[in-house]
């Protein structure tokens, strides 16, 4: 599956059906729509992945599994090197509009993200989360402690013999399991690359994960 992000520029004179209409005179910068741009959102003591729908110099809109309220402080990590902060302006059935605390140069931000991805610096955003998971392999099955997780992989601490190249199946939650391969293992820690990625919705809220 191709996870690359595609950028589509739209004319701001057309009101978006995805958000409450905003009078044209109140917008001071054009809105740039981003399709399938995944971000890490931190708010209300929770964190999860979200999809950025559009972005401007003053704000952005994303879809999320979190329950948010107007006025909530929110952190949006577009990558590990690009962090934005703002306040929730509106929230409606999983769609959220954020007013940024500091204005940005949104075309420059999108160029930075594009360059990160093509330079090899960009990687799937990780969510720090601790919980017990079950890992199954040809060696049997046993419990391990999840340390962090992304759409494409996870890191665990364990007491078993997880050698690089070992095929595993990880039960992350009831009804949610993924196959993967151990990429590295050292000092009781192991990194597992998933052969089937997790969706943004599955990682939308660590509180309910």
Confidence band, pLDDT 50/70/90 cuts, at residue 169: very high
Beta carbons of 89 and 100 less than 8 angstroms apart: no
Beta carbons of 68 and 43 less than 8 angstroms apart: yes
Q: Which helix (H) or strand (E) holds 173?
A: strand 167-173
Q: Which of 193, 133, 122 is nearest to 157 (CA)?
A: 133
Who has greater pLDDT, 55 or 32? 55
pLDDT tens by residue, 117-164:
888 777 899 999 999 999 999 988 889 999 999 999 999 998 878 899
pTM, two decimals, is: 0.83
CA distances from 132 to 48, 144, 186 (A): 18, 6, 19
How far, in whole angstroms, is CA 9 from its chain's centroid?
Answer: 22
Domains, the chain = 6-119 (2.40.10.220), 127-194 (2.40.10.220)
């Amino acid at each position: 599956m191709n996870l690359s992000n595609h950028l589509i520029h739209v004319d701001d004179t057309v009101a978006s059906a995805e958000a409450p209409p905003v009078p044209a005179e109140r917008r001071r910068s054009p809105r740039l729509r981003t399709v399938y741009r995944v971000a890490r959102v931190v708010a209300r003591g929770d964190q999860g992945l979200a999809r950025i729908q559009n972005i401007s110099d003053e704000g952005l809109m994303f879809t999320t599994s979190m329950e948010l309220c107007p006025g909530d402080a929110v952190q949006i990590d577009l990558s590990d090197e690009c962090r934005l902060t703002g306040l929730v302006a509106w929230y409606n059935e999983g769609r959220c509009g954020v007013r940024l605390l500091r204005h940005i140069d949104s075309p420059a931000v999108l160029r930075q993200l594009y360059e990160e991805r093509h330079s090899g610096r960009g990687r799937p955003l990780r969510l720090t989360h601790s919980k017990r998971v079950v890992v199954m392999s040809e060696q049997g099955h046993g419990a391990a402690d999840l340390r962090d997780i992304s759409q494409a992989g996870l890191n665990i601490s364990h007491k078993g013999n997880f050698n690089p190249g070992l095929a595993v199946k990880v039960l992350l939650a009831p009804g949610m399991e993924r196959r993967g391969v151990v990429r590295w293992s050292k000092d009781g820690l192991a990194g597992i690359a998933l052969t089937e990625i997790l969706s943004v919705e599955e990682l939308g809220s660590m509180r309910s994960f």
